[in-house]
Amino acid sequence: MKPVNDLPKSLENDFNIKWNSLCVSAEYAKNIPRDNPEIFAALKRVFAFSNFVARSYIHTPELLKNLIESGDLQKSYKVNKYNDKLKTALLSLEGDAKSGIQSPVSSLQHIFRRFRLYEMVRIAWRDLAGWADLEETMADLSALADACINHALSHLYKWQCLEYGIPTGPDSSQQHLVIIGMGKLGACELNFSSDIDLIFAYPEPGKTKGKTASISNDEFFVRLCRHFFNVISATTSEGFVFRVDTRLRPYGESGPLIMSFDNMEAYYQRQGREWERYAWIKARIVADEKGAGNSLLERLQPFVYRRYLDFGVFESLREMKNKISLEVKKKGMKSNIKLGPGGIREIEFFGQIFQLIRGGVTPILRERRIYKVLTALSQNNYIEKDTCNELIKAYEFLRKTEHRLQEFSDQQTHRLPLDHAGRERLAVSMGFIDWESFALHLSRHMERVHYHFNTLLTEKEPDSRTEHDKQEAKIEIELKGIWQNLIDNEKSINLLSDAGFDKPEEVLLLLDHLRNDSQTRALSIEGRKRLDRLIPIVLREIGKYGLPYSVLNRIIDLIKTIERRTCYIALLLENPAALTHLVKLANAGPLVISFLSHHPVLLDELLDPRTLYVPPERDELEKEVQKKLEPIPRDDLENQIQELCIFKQVNILRVAAADVTGAVKLMRTSDHLTEIA
């Protein structure tokens, strides 16, 4: 929406009150309408929409003058601008550090809070005036946080080394604190008045050197973190810089504030939960003196992104979704644009569940930013293009609304105003003539988001089942009893015969062999539960079509090769259509099933019949392979070869599936294989 140039009378009156107060506190302000008409036109909007900006200018008269004279209000910052400006502001402390003056905390607190005020007022102005788009606003807020974190850490580390000595590892190498930004900071999508979610780590245990009394690295870095909190998040008479939240660390609030890389890796390998994988998707190293942090991210990548399609995570994701659904039903949540139904959180959840499931085998999904995630999902046909566009447009609108709410008073709020003045102010700031038109636009976005959110991880409710569904469920229960050896042989044979099997005695024998197979007996409790759910469904699916015993034999051979990787069992459980295609291919002959047994990662291809039985032509193959290799660096030969192998296997499967089902002629089969090579 375009900015509304003429303010409603109530907002015009509000502006006049603030403008008169500014003119009293700052004489130069009276000349702004004459000397800077563009600035004055924007100032009317900004003052009307933000008490925070108006109050800051009135209480600190030189602030507006400095922003105007520097030209900072009217230009976008280049990369590293915040870093360079803060470095200059801190030059006065360099001499203090070298001379050993005690505790820099109070000096840093003052400098950082003045710096924060200047830059936050600038960011709010540019957003409210319509001079910066959402992308720039989020990037500026994130870059500001990065600069504050890095410079606070750098100065405090130097001072603390003077007091306690230099922390060193077992090989006497100097140790530095690594700070990981999580959530919106990690994704460079920070909102205006946001907490920053941080996790702290250091490379190796050891002791400090250079002082008579040494302390452990752990103690050194814990003290450093405490000083860091005092500089960044403590509230003084000048306010705070950023509120810091450390609850995403291992063990949460009850856990140690900081861990070595080894201890952190061990925690996530042994105790890491699905919601922690979810959180680490957005993790980014925001402070790291020597570049050690990237090695930590590499070590944790197998925890975040499984090396296979992780359909085994469905149950945990469903629990997370149900938790979100329960929370949005709480009183007052409908007016919450972040946590309410159709809010920002639901969009982020939509993108991140695909990342958890597929990120291990689809590197292009390993993105922190939701824009890129949704776009990648659409480009790779995991979601419809219209779905992607609706979610992105809704995200932009909701995030813009979020900033306008928070820029009013520099408060961390996500609730829509209830009073008439607040509603009018928000609507006009978003480019609407009144609250009703804004609210209608907002509700349309949130309804579409909530619709797409509700399509995720769906399960058919018992009350919605048809008579056919109920009959199939009854058969499935009986078949489960047979699989679990709870029904005697004679009755089992009769039930299997009724279910459609031509050789029920041999089916029983086959099931017995699978049940007592050494690999089956060695399955984890969770793995066995999944297998116990799958086998009756397989039996029902084969039996209802009256397919021969050989089809079951082929599928059980496949199950034996994949049962240790229970994520593949979960894939078939969560995607009934995939199981249907598997049965169809098994009925066509042993070729495709044998190929899948050797390359189980290709089971994912069963999810999309549009590509499964339609081998691409040569030009399509070339586009596909180029698309697969594009995200991989040119010097990363190992991953290029791995991606080419998967590309080859996927397309051979498509040709084989099309061949055995008669979807392509025999002569074209050999042509397709030649084109793949």
Q: Which of 623, 137, 18 is nearest to 401 (CA)?
A: 137
Task: Please tell me the distance from the alpha carbon of residue 25 to that of residue 60, in angstroms, as a whole number.
Answer: 8
Cβ–Cβ < 8 Å for 378, 385? yes
Tokens 């660390």 sit on residue: 249
Within its chain, how far is the Cα of 355 from the centroid? Answer: 7
Cβ–Cβ < 8 Å for 201, 296? yes
Model confidence pLDDT, tens digit, residues 80-117: 999 999 999 998 776 554 544 456 888 899 999 999 99
Cβ–Cβ < 8 Å for 228, 287? no
Quote the longest CA-to-CA distance of the chain: 100
The predicted model scores a pTM of 0.78
Secondary structure of 654-671 as H, E, C letters: HHHHHHHCCCCCHHHHHH
Task: Please tell me the distance from the alpha carbon of residue 161 to that of residue 391, in angstroms, as a whole number.
Answer: 49
Q: What is the pLDDT of residue 71?
A: 93
Cβ–Cβ < 8 Å for 628, 616? no
Indicate the pairing of strand 195-202 with strand 258-260. parallel
What are the φ/ψ torsions at residue 285 (nearest 5 degrees)?
Answer: -75, 120
Cβ–Cβ < 8 Å for 184, 190? yes
For the chain, which residues score pLDDT lower than 70? 1-5, 94-103, 308-312, 331, 459-470, 607-617, 621, 628, 646, 649, 655-677
Task: Please tell me the distance from the alpha carbon of residue 590 to that of residue 580, in angstroms, as a whole number.
Answer: 16
Q: Which of 577, 486, 474 is nearest to 532 (CA)?
A: 486
Cβ–Cβ < 8 Å for 615, 655? yes
Q: What is the pLDDT of residue 2?
A: 47
Q: What is the pLDDT of residue 326?
A: 77
